[in-house]
Amino acid sequence: MTKQMPNIVADALQKPTQENLTLTAPSTHGPRILLLHGSLRTVSYSRLMNEEAARVLETFGAETKVFDPSGLPLPDECDATHPKVAELRDLVNWCEGMVWCSPERHGTITGIMKAQIDWIPLSLGAVRPTQGKTLAVMQVNGGSQSFNTVNALRVLGRWMRMITIPNQSSVAKAFLEFDDDGRMKPSGFYNRMVDVMEELVKFTLLTRDVSSYLTDRYSERVESGKDLIDRVNSKRA
């Protein structure tokens, strides 16, 4: 005989369709996109790539903000009250989607890129600030085309419970792809970047009003926010 589910399990399994999908009027503002880059160089191609992407996103009706990582301390070097950390976290809460663009260094993302992601908390209390937000990943290369960095960024996006879009951009010999004014030259690389931004806007529009429903989990429904905090803190003790 099949055992009947405990009431708590049955109730939790039913909850997504009955309570967590709140039908409200669709958002009418442009998608809010935060762009992070992984280099502090005076001529930073990851920054130039993000600035070009921001122009494209705004053409598609998005509202954009490019975070400047200069002055951001190393993770654990100070607490979250540091002005640059607070600025980054406020922007993460503001946005509905993100673009992460990093150079490839030693076969992966830069420390500057990783520091920004590490300062974004997995949770603030019982709230996960990145959960359900969309993400596009890009990389710039000093030499031939590589995909190590975008692959690493995808792993991080998944860990942060983000909806990482299928398309991505990797620009080979980035120093040849920008003019003296820092604008990206017409090319197949430019076209791919536009494709990625267009797809990001589409995914953000499709998911932002239902992201809490898409990311709702049984394991979290059976444990309240307070219980979660108490359990995590008890393990640290």
pLDDT, average across residues 120-135: 80
Query: Taking a C-beta distance cutoff of 8 angstroms, is the pair 115, 72 a contact?
Result: yes
pLDDT, average across residues 50-67: 97
- Enter the pTM of the model: 0.84
pLDDT, average across residues 212-222: 76
User: Does residue 64 have a pLDDT over 90?
Assistant: yes
Fold entry, domain 30-236: Rossmann fold (3.40.50)
State how far Cα 175 lies from the chain centre.
26
Each residue's pLDDT tens digit, 145-171: 989 999 999 999 999 999 999 999 999
Tokens of 161: 């419970």
What is the rounded distance in angstroms from the CA atom of residue 131 to the CA atom of residue 127? 9
Write out the E strands in the chain.
Answer: 32-37, 63-66, 97-103, 134-140, 163-164, 169-171
Sign of CA dihedral 91, 154, 72, 194: negative
Q: How confident is the model at residue 14 (pLDDT cuts 50, 70, 90)?
A: low
> In sequence order, what are the beta bridge partners of 124?
127
Sign of CA dihedral 52, 200, 174, 140: positive
